[in-house]
């Protein structure tokens, strides 16, 4: 089974295995990637943690194991691929958080992703949750410290609505959204195709996800598939303006002549 099919299968499981799904995203950038090898590396990291506590987990990952936030090459796409993060020991907030979540899960340490403005954190499932800034070296923040942190980062934004834990599908959507932005910035049309396609196979994908994929297909010159994607939005009853979608599909088909 090729990587896209495997990803489509994995994201329909209950619960969704975040580690496997994240590694399968990376398999699109590295054909032939051994996902089981990546999972084994996460097992090894868990085995290196001396005791199953949040503090020891973070001290191990961001201390002894040397994981750091990539300040110098933040937008390097490798920072969004979990296998590269494991191998290079550097990443961005969301992938370092996924690392902490999945190594923690192996130790029965429960961490959830939190998509706060302009940053990605994790939170503990304690009665009074604490927040972990993986990109900041795994530092732990209590609620009052979090407020001060974001008052400087995004002044005037009320962060409380953003502190609800994210499900694994939402985390995957954010990884793919990051990659879409990175590849659009670099002009990598081939990578844009698979990143935008993967967004459409995640359960709960929107008409906008399909339009973005259709746009990537059109930009690559695949006008027939782009038209089919737009027509599928109409056929699926997801179009807010069916006539406009069909007119655009017709315009794309006209470019085939």
Q: What pLDDT was estimated at residue 197?
A: 97
Q: What pLDDT was estimated at residue 148?
A: 82
Q: What pLDDT was estimated at residue 151?
A: 80
pLDDT band at 140 (very low <50, low <70, confident <90, very high): very high
Asked if 70 contacts 90 with a C-beta cutoff of 8 angstroms, the reply is yes
Asked if 216 contacts 176 with a C-beta cutoff of 8 angstroms, the reply is no
Which CATH class for the 3-162 domain?
alpha beta
Q: What pLDDT was estimated at residue 117?
A: 79
Q: What pLDDT was estimated at residue 162?
A: 85
CA distance 221 to 126: 51
Mean pLDDT across the chain? 94
Residue indicated by tokens 């973005």: 212
Residue 93, pLDDT > 80, answer yes
Which regions of 48-205 does DSSP assign to beta strands (E)? 68-69, 90-91, 111-114, 121-124, 131-133, 139-141
Residue indicated by tokens 């974001």: 150
Asked if 127 contacts 115 with a C-beta cutoff of 8 angstroms, the reply is no
Q: What pLDDT was estimated at residue 186?
A: 93
Residue 1, pLDDT > 60, answer no
pLDDT digits (tens, 9 = 90+) for 9-67: 999 999 999 999 999 999 999 999 999 999 999 999 999 999 999 999 999 999 999 99
H-run or E-run covering 196: helix 189-201
Q: What pLDDT was estimated at residue 40?
A: 98
Taking the whole predicted model, whether its pTM rises above 0.75 is answered as yes
Residues of the chain with CATH 3.10.620: 3-162
């Amino acid at each position: 089974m090729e990587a896209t099919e495997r990803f489509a299968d994995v994201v329909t499981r209950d619960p969704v295995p975040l580690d496997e799904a994240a590694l399968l995203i990376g398999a699109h950038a590295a054909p032939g990637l051994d996902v089981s090898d990546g999972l084994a590396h996460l097992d090894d990291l868990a085995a290196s943690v001396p005791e199953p506590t949040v503090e020891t987990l973070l001290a191990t990952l961001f201390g002894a194991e040397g994981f750091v936030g990539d300040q110098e090459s933040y937008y390097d796409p490798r920072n969004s691929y979990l296998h590269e993060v494991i191998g290079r020991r550097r990443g961005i907030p969301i992938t370092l958080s996924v690392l902490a979540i999945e190594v923690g899960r192996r130790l029965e340490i429960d961490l959830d992703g939190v998509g706060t403005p302009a940053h990605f954190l994790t939170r503990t499932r304690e009665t009074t949750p604490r927040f972990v800034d993986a990109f900041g070296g795994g530092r732990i923040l209590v609620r009052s410290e979090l407020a001060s942190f974001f008052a400087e980062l995004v002044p005037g934004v009320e962060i409380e609505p953003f502190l609800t834990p994210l499900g694994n599908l939402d985390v995957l959507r954010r990884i793919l959204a990051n990659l879409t932005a990175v590849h659009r910035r670099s002009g990598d049309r081939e990578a844009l195709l698979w990143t935008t396609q993967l967004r459409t196979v995640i359960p709960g994908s929107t008409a906008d996800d399909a339009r973005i994929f259709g746009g990537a297909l059109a930009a690559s010159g695949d006008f027939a598939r782009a038209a089919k994607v737009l027509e599928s939005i109409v056929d699926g009853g997801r179009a807010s303006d069916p006539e406009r979608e069909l007119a655009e599909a017709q315009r794309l088909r006209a470019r085939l002549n």
